Amino acid sequence: MTSRTPDLPETPDAFSIGGEYRVARIGWGAMRLPTGPGPDRDAAVAVARRAVESGVTLIDTAHLYGWGANEELLAEALHPYPDNLLITTKVGVVRSDGPEGWAYDARPDSLREQVEQGLRRLRTERVGLLQLHRIDPEVPLAEQIGALHELRQEGKIGHIGLSEVTAAQLAEARRTAEIASVQNRYNLFDREYEPVLEACEAAGIAFLPWRPVAAATPGPASVLDAVATELGATAPQVLLAWLLARSPVLLPIPGTASLAHLKENLAAADLRLDESRRRRLDGMARPV
C-alpha cells in the first residue's frame, strides 16, 4: 500500500492518482462490509480478498465506517498489502453523543490523532491517499488542509483528497496544498457536482464518485434498461460504463459485500458505449 504502482499500462482503464498510484478505474467501496464476528465477517474477508485477486487496485474506506472497524477488517483481510494496492481512508468526522451519532471535527490536533489511529488500524506507516471526509464549518479550511499537508511532509500521508466539496472549496484548498482527489456524489441521474468534475478534469485530479450506481432508476421501459438489453448487460453495469466514458478522471468505487455483485461491477470495465448510446443516456439526467 505504500509503493508506486507502475504495472498498469497507459490505457483508458487506468488513472494515475497524484502522479504516483496508477490504479484500475473501477475501484471498490468497502463501506458495506459487515465487521462483526462470525460467518458474516468471514464472508467480508473473502470479498475483500477476491476484489484484489480480481484486479481491484483502489479500495475506499473511512474512519466513519464502523468507527475504524472497516479499516481493521481490511487490514485483517489484506495485510501485508500488495505493492499495487491503494487503500484510501477518510478523516474529519468523529463519533458524538448527538442525535446523528457523529460530528464534524477537523481541528488540526484532532486530524492528526485520527490519522495516527487510522495508520494503526490499517497496520501501515503511510496512507497513500487520505481524504477529508467533510469540511468542518467551524475550522478555517486552510487550517484543515494545512494540518494534512504537515502530515504529508512527515511522510504519514502520500496524497490529500477532499469529499463533498464545491468547486470554490476545491480551489481554496489547492491554495494551501496539492489536492490529488475529490470524492463527491455523482452518477448519471445526479450531476449536481458537474462544476467540480470540470475543475478536476482541468487539473488532472481524480474524481471518485460515491453512489455511482443510482439507487432509484427508471422502470423497465427506460432508456437505461433498453441500452442494457442491447448490450447484454445489467443496468448497474451501464451506469458504471457511462461514468468511465464521461470523463477520464472518474474512478467509480461501487460498494458491495457480495461476490456476485463484485464480479458484475468489475465486468463493467469491459463495456463500451458508442456515441449514440451515450447521447441517449445523457438525456436521462435530472436538471442540475
For residues 199 and 239, give the distance between their C-alpha atoms in angstroms, rounded to a whole number.
22
Q: Are 208 and 15 in contact (CB under 8 A)?
A: no
Q: Which residues contact 80 (CB under 8 A, 6 or more apart)?
A: none
Pick from 88, 287, 58, 269: nearest CA to 194: 287
Please give the full DSSP string across 57-78, using - where no structure is assigned: -EEE--TTTTTTHHHHHHHHHH
For residues 265 and 255, give the distance between their C-alpha atoms in angstroms, rounded to a whole number.
9
C-alpha cell at 159: 496524497
Q: Is 193 a catalytic residue?
A: no
Pick from 259, 269, 271: nearest CA to 233: 271
For residues 21 and 59, give the distance between their C-alpha atoms in angstroms, rounded to a whole number.
12
For residues 251 and 145, give the distance between their C-alpha atoms in angstroms, rounded to a whole number.
23
Which of the residues 21, 65, 104, 186 is marked catalytic?
65
What stretches of the chain show up as alpha helix (H) in DSSP? 39-53, 69-78, 108-122, 141-153, 167-174, 194-203, 223-231, 235-246, 259-267, 275-282
Backbone angles phi, psi at 123, to 5 degrees: 60, 50
Amino acid occupying residue 272: R
Q: What is the DSSP letter of 24?
A: E
Q: Which residues are catalytic?
A: 65
